[in-house]
Amino acid sequence: MEKVKVTLPDGSVKEYDAGTTVEDVAYSIGSGLGRDAVAGVVDGKKVDANYPIEEDVELSIITIDSDEALEILRHTASHIMAQAVKRLYDNVQVAIGPAIDDGFYYDFNLDKTINDESLAEIEAEMQKIIEEDIEIERKVLPRAEAVALMEERNEKYKLELIDELEDQMISLYFQGDYVDLCRGPHLPSTGYVKAFKLMNVAGAYWRGDENNEMLQRIYGTAFASEKDLEKYINRMEEAKKRDHRKLGKELDLFSIQDEGKGFPFFHPKGMALRNELVDFWKEEHRKAGYEEIKTPIILDESLWHQSGHWDHYKDNMYFTEIDGDTHAVKPMNCPGGILVYKDSMHSYRELPIRMAELGLVHRHEMSGALHGLMRVRSFTQDDAHIYCLPDQIEDELSGVIKLVDRLYSAFGFNYKVELSTKPENAMGSDEQWDRAIKALKNSIERNDLDYEINEGDGAFYGPKIDFHLEDSIGRTWQCGTIQLDFQMPERFDLSYIGQDGEEHRPAMIHRAIYGSIERFIGILIEHFAGAFPTWIAPVQVEIIPVSDDQIDYALQVKEALSKEKIRVEVDSRSEQVGYKIRDAQVKQIPYMLIVGGREEENGTVSVRDRREGDLGTSKLSEFKAKILAEIKAKAISQENIQK
């Protein structure tokens, strides 16, 4: 029998009969590994455990408790859920059901409206399917057979998906009485799923197109162990308490109105927070040698053709007609910034030129995708574009990385770094992309940062570094990005006069740190659970007079603090002091100053901290010095980021 060589991750090479499966190889290494093996990676591609090895390959084994198995586990759980729904209800058509971050979902077209009671019923049926330990088998059928099978089962969505495939052989997974169109891989059987939970149901248009029918999307999650599932559920409960939409309303920061779906309204307290973020951003950029610009929101259509955004973003853009010509509401700031650079000739002596812009952009999002401040239709990007000489690229990239670290550190964020490489729809030559990727790698390593490679996820005009913030309950958020671009300077014919007196092409770096100010505020609300550090708190001090007799003194204290630009309010309501204190704590105001007859007589204040409680009596000048020092230091106490 023909032999094949299998190279394992440790470099060792083993020889097997052709047709040996991934699972067979795992058992040949050890019985424990064989029992835990659920899939494999053959020459970089994930495959099922029963995948036959027919030629020499590189192989790594995926075990049920590994991070790599989690996506496969969740994908299988989505198929189990679909099987359960089809068992329970009549006239069910299944659409798509992928694994996603933190779980999975499946879209269904069915007559019954799914509610919490239905989810419990589906969970119970899923548990039965798991206990049946049904074998999951992949079959590759000729296109005509796959179509006939889906027609027989009245799966119109699957037929539409098959129709879009160019493959003549179609990959299907058979799971007892359930069959699904899928590339896989999947677990060997349903019994491998040990810990799962259905979370909620939502509406979703077929293919995300609001012109198509609305389907019911059931979300769930699955983990390798009950312990991991319980930890996740607890985290989700904590996330509900921290939901920025709920806290944004309670703290009177922002609102989303029916008259402007996807367009946030910031209230005075929200603007106080926003302005602090903007002022901090501007000061740090000034120190880092940036100049600020502002470009129009609406620009001629021709600009977006020239930049390439028309081909990649037109479905997400808004348009208007001016003087008979089509104009676009900008989805990005870079073309406008390029026009500022291009407005005059530049010498090599001027470079690098760093132009920063807090630019309002608009992108069309489906109504079902809108989510508070996290997913909106208008937002402010904290963009900057750096034009530099080729030999300045790595120094400039390193400077941006250091600036990112300064800004994130001010909020107590840890972060992870990801390098995204050339996508399928990329503009430019492989040589340009290789040069850009190398520069980004060198700058990351120069700053001693650990990073992961995200193959094929770069922008269409260049590779990028993404920064993923970790919040106080362990969730990650992609915010900052740095993109190295050789394409836009070509498309817009950007130049500078070199030492030789000739025109040369500058390199261009796109970068954002907050990403979107609106979204960053949403993240901060949830990260701090509304208990903002004093320096960005919308109200930093609440003055509480013991009785109406002390209102005048309270106003004097307010005036003294306000002169120092401390944000302060007086609670002059006719309520008990205890009630006012509790209300200020609910509103997460860092400090409360209680002023009664004794305080007025002595020119003092009784200081309370929102977490530590009574801090004792203090001279007003002493308290003022303390809070100003705290604000200047941008101090973040442990209670701000308590997990």
- Enzyme catalytic residues: 334, 363, 381, 383, 385, 464, 510
Q: Which runs of E-coded beta strand occur in 67-192?
A: 93-94, 99-100, 103-109, 136-142, 169-175, 178-181
> What is the largest distance, in Å, between two alpha-carbon atoms of the chain?
101
Integer Cα distance of 95 and 107 in angstroms: 5
Amino acid at 267: H
Integer Cα distance of 265 and 270 in angstroms: 9
Angle between helices 268-287 and 517-528 (to 10 degrees): 110
Integer Cα distance of 530 and 247 in angstroms: 7
Residue 434 burial (CB count, 10 A): 13
Residue 79 burial (CB count, 10 A): 25
Strands 291-292 and 298-300: unpaired
Strands 541-545 and 568-570: parallel
408: closest CA among 267, 252, 558, 513?
A: 513
Q: What Cα–Cα distance (Å) separates residue 133 from each residue in 27, 349, 533?
A: 20, 71, 52
- Alpha-helical (H) ranges within 139-243 are 143-152, 156-164, 226-242
Q: For residue 28, how far is the Cα from the chain centroid? A: 42
Q: For residue 159, how far is the Cα from the chain centroid? A: 33
The DSSP secondary structure of 375-440, one letter per residue, reads: B-SEEEEEEEEEEE-GGGHHHHHHHHHHHHHHHHHTTT-EEEEEEE---TT--S-HHHHHHHHHHH
Integer Cα distance of 150 and 181 in angstroms: 9
> In which region does residue 279 sit, left (phi positive, over 0), alpha (psi from -120 to 50) or beta (all else)?
alpha
Integer Cα distance of 452 and 435 in angstroms: 18
Q: What Cα–Cα distance (Å) separates residue 615 from each residue in 3, 545, 576, 594?
A: 78, 17, 20, 11
Integer Cα distance of 594 and 592 in angstroms: 6
Integer Cα distance of 264 and 421 in angstroms: 33
